Amino acid sequence: MTSIVDIAVPLSEHESAAATRLVDCEICFEAVPDADCLAIAGCGHKFCTLCVKEHVVSCMGEGCVEIQCPADSCHKKLGASTLLSAVGSTVYAKLVELSLSRAVDTHPNIHRCHTPECSFAVWWDGDGGGDGALF
């Protein structure tokens, strides 16, 4: 009987090299397989996914919604795809919620619904025209 191990397709040279190439994470200083790293778009800094996740969660804990590259003196903001890859959909959804909440709290024309348990907000410029946008 043939087992699944016996029929495995070998990796190409390129795939094999990428799977075994190690990258030194600039945060934890561990040698990590390249496949377990994230490169920050725009600046090219590369860190292990676990360190990026911990960086994002830490920033969120401090109330930050615009997460920057964790490299010293790099101010490149992490894009949505990098954030989603690093933290997964559940934590990313919390970051989006925090970001929207921050916008509602800081923008003078966005107001929360006063109905208890309602999460909607409305854009109202106060001119009495009655035109607004619900979101």
Section 30-38 average pLDDT: 93
- Name the band, by pLDDT with cuts 50, 70 and 90, for residue 1: very low
CA separation for the pair 135, 131 (Å, rounded): 13
pTM of the model: 0.69
> Which single residue is written with the structure tokens 């934890």?
28
pLDDT surpassing 80 at residue 12 = no
- Name the band, by pLDDT with cuts 50, 70 and 90, for residue 3: very low
Give the pLDDT confidence of 84-125 residue by residue, as tens digits: 999 999 999 999 988 888 888 888 888 888 888 887 888 877
Tokens describing residue 134: 């619900």
DSSP character for 133?
Answer: E
> Which single residue is written with the structure tokens 């959804």?
93
Residue type for position 85: S
DSSP-H helix ranges across the chain: 13-20, 49-61, 80-106
